Amino acid sequence: MACYLYSAVRTPFGRFNGALSGVRPDDLSARVITGLLDRVPELDPAAIDEVVWGNANGAGEDNRNVGRMAALLAGLPTSVPGTTVNRLCGSSLDAAMIGSRAIETGDADIVLAGGAESMTRAPWVLPKPSRGFPPGDLTAVSTTLGWRLVNPRMPKEWTVSLGEANEQLGEKHAVTRERQDAFALRSHRLAMAAWEEGFYDHLIVPTEGLARDEGVRSDSSLEQLAALKPSFRPEGTITAGNASPLSDGASALLLGSPAAADRLGIEPLSRIAGRGASALDPREFGYAPVEAAERALARAGIGWDQVGAVELNEAFAVQSLVCVDAWGIDPEIVNTRGGAIAIGHPLGASGGRILGTLAGVLRERRERWGVAAICIGVGQGLAVVLENLAVAA
């Protein structure tokens, strides 16, 4: 049985300590779920077979199965089950993949998938001591991003910071600072154009008075980007300008079988045609989407020559460039409506964002096939192939 994507929405993505900083991640999740259901008025919420929700942190207000909490806060019937997926940056794309498999196997007819992250509200944590009442000081650990409470048995070369890992990736593939800055500027310009042209209007659920992505900069320039200091090495190439920012936000996707159209009262946008997951050395996580996309394409039965649009999450400009180079594709089909460097990267929400954006781009460009891909910390990548049903043969 096929699985279709029927609808996709998201909140605007807010800056760290920005407009959405006062909103709990479970409330962000509930807001985007209700926004999605508002667009499908014929759907009886009790008909949803499963909520599959992505979240990377799970250490604070998003603890204890935020997917189930969000469903309850959104007013779904208590009979609708919910689960939470944690594959770090790929969590909501993984949620969509899990939901699509349930539909394809006949275990579900309608699945609500998505994810959320408040990187602003990620708490500090204190590890429990091995013995009660230790006499020394204890250090609170930030859970916002990256490794924390690392197992001492883990090889140290694997546990370098995300930025240092991408500096190493850039060295390995000879990606210059100039290319990274140019890629970042393109992201801002395309995102701003998309907003000005109304591309995102139908994808957005305004939240807390925020109606647009908060991090998009219309005034960015190569000169400004070139003036920024490296963030991870004194002579490095990665800066705050050519990497994705810390962000807050949520995304939601409505998946269903072909027969679900009658219960939803809407026509599907796309078919999930292929899925791929890959893993490699944790330091090279930025390269992991390369093989994930190849696997997804193989399972869809198509090649890169048939792909008309790519949504690649821009964790860092360097890893995005390395992936595009490895695929050997036209870079102009990648992130044509801006990417995470401009829009933001709330970890658990980004996979849903790129899948929903891809469906919209395929419709806009009248392309049949598209790929959504994302890199994931600790050396993993995910990818999904969509088929635009409006132009399917």
**Residues known to be catalytic:** 89, 345, 375
Spatial distance between the Cα atoms of 298 and 296, rounded to a whole number of angstroms: 5
CB 3 within 8 A of CB 257: yes
Is residue 284 a contact partner of residue 141, using CB atoms and an 8 Å limit?
A: no
Return d(Cα 41, Cα 38) in angstroms, integer: 6
Q: CA dihedral defined by 130, 131, 137, 140, rounded to 10 degrees?
A: 40
Asked if residues 359 and 5 have their Cβ atoms less than 8 Å apart, the reply is yes
**Longest C-alpha distance within the chain, in Å?**
71
Pairwise CA distance, residues 55 & 274, whole Å: 23
Helix (H) or strand (E) holding 311: strand 307-312
DSSP string, 232-246: SSTT-S--TTSBPPP
Give the helix ranges, DSSP H, for 244-385: 261-264, 289-300, 317-327, 340-343, 350-365
Distance CA 169, CA 174 (A): 8
Residue 208: name the closest of 251, 249, 254 by CA: 249
Q: Are strands 124-125 and 141-142 parallel, antiparallel or unpaired?
A: antiparallel
Cross-strand partners of 278: 381
Nearest Cα residue to 23 out of 92, 112, 120, 115: 120
Scanning 6-139, the segments in alpha helix (DSSP H) are 25-38, 66-73, 91-104
> Helix/strand/coil (H, E, C) string of 73-97?
HCCCCCCCCEEEECCHHHHHHHHHH
